[in-house]
Amino acid sequence: MCMRFMLLFSRQGKLRLQKWYLATSDKERKKMVRELMQVVLARKPKMCSFLEWRDLKVVYKRYASLYFCCAIEGQDNELITLELIHRYVELLDKYFGSVCELDIIFNFEKAYFILDEFLMGGDVQDTSKKSVLKAIEQADLLQEGDESPESAVMSEPGLSWL
């Protein structure tokens, strides 16, 4: 299995996270993101989660206000990719506790770290929720005590997605 890239974007077309597993120029990235967001956002709710796009297969799923979108290669398994998205959402959810879009906006670096523990080079590194979260929490324990975690700045209603 080889994922080319993963994108998280909102219904309004704001990119929240992008992870590229194959060297792509900045210009090309922007073009691909724009084009793909347009295609995916135009699709209706009951439509199928897979589509052919350029020479790739795109697997996407919408959770509340966020679209999770993966581009994979022709031979790759669509359904397992769909569940890979779900597992990532579960990991975010477990870590943040009922994750919402704002968590990902304000803690984008955490979203990247969790993704990195789960996927590497576009391939699944570990599928166990426990192993992945253990790695992340260990990292949190390593933090210095001199910072007091601040309280949330904003809230946005009703974003439970599991």
Chain positions 17 to 36 lying near other proteins, rule: CB under 8 A, are 17-18, 23, 30
At 68, is the secondary structure helix, strand, or coil? strand
Structure-block tokens of residue 31: 């073009």
Binding mask 37-66 for other proteins (x = CB under 8 A): -------x-xxxxxxx--x-----------
Structure-block tokens of residue 115: 């993704």
**Looking up tokens 């001199």, which residue turns up?**
146
CB atoms < 10 A from the CB of 67, how many? 22
Q: Which is nearer to other proteins, 11 or 108 (CB)?
A: 108
Residues 110-139 that bind other proteins (CB under 8 A): 110, 112-113, 116, 120-131, 135, 138-139
Residues 72-91 that bind other proteins (CB under 8 A): 74-75, 77-80, 82-84, 86-87
**Looking up tokens 């979260």, which residue turns up?**
133
